[in-house]
């Protein structure tokens, strides 16, 4: 005999979409992308890139990223945020700057009252393309297939949409596991 879904499962998974912002942090360019997820279906909302001026002082650049992300969050009203985690590269100074930009992205989401999930770059790539070491071209192509109406002005914006899609996949699994656990009690 087949097991039935937990009470309210189908209603909860199809009742209303959840708006998710994905953020691909960078000091010069921070990509953002907003999707609405309803179960395993996704709809493109908007995407773009917040830019800072390389000639400006670090503090000014971080403020520009913060202000730009706050404006996007306020305008589009996401319910959850996902940020790509920092990877360590050969250039320690670049890694530190990326970490500062990432901190600003997490801060902007948290100050807006959003829960913030973090995903490693390989996890994002695998969730969207099925391959943990996909390149930018593959990510753009798959984001375009999953979100046919998507428009993005940079690879950073495409990556941000991929981060939002990754979160939508993972949050659905976590929600289902929680519902099954509470139904079993």
- Virtual torsion, Cα 137, 143, 72, 22, nearest 10 deg: -90
Residue closest to 52 by CA, chosen among 101, 111, 112, 121: 101
> What order of strands is seen across the sheet that includes strand 115-119?
41-51, 29-38, 18-24, 80-84, 115-119
Residues in CB range of 90: below 8 A, 6 or more apart: none
CA angle 144, 87, 64 (to 5 degrees): 75
H helical segments located in 33-113: 58-76, 92-111
Active site residues: 24, 84, 156
C-alpha–C-alpha distance, residues 27 and 105, integer Å: 10
**94 is written with which tokens?**
């670049």
H or E segment to which residue 31 belongs:
strand 29-38
């Amino acid at each position: 005999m087949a097991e039935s879904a937990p009470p309210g499962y189908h209603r909860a998974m199809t009742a209303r979409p959840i708006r998710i912002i994905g953020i691909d942090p960078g000091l010069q360019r921070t990509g953002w992308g907003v999707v609405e997820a309803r179960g395993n279906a996704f709809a493109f909302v908007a995407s773009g890139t917040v830019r800072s001026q390389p000639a400006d002082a670090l503090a000014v650049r971080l403020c520009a990223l913060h202000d730009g992300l706050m404006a996007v969050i306020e305008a589009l009203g996401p319910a959850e945020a996902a940020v790509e985690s920092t990877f360590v590269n050969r250039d320690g100074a670049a890694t530190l700057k990326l970490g500062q930009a990432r901190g600003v992205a997490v801060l902007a989401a948290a100050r807006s009252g959003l829960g913030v999930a973090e995903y490693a770059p390989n996890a994002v790539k695998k969730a969207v393309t099925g391959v943990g070491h996909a390149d930018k071209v593959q990510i753009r192509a798959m984001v375009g297939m999953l979100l046919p109406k998507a428009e993005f002005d940079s690879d950073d914006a495409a990556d941000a949409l991929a981060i939002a899609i990754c979160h939508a996949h993972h949050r659905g699994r976590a929600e289902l596991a929680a519902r099954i656990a509470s139904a079993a009690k």
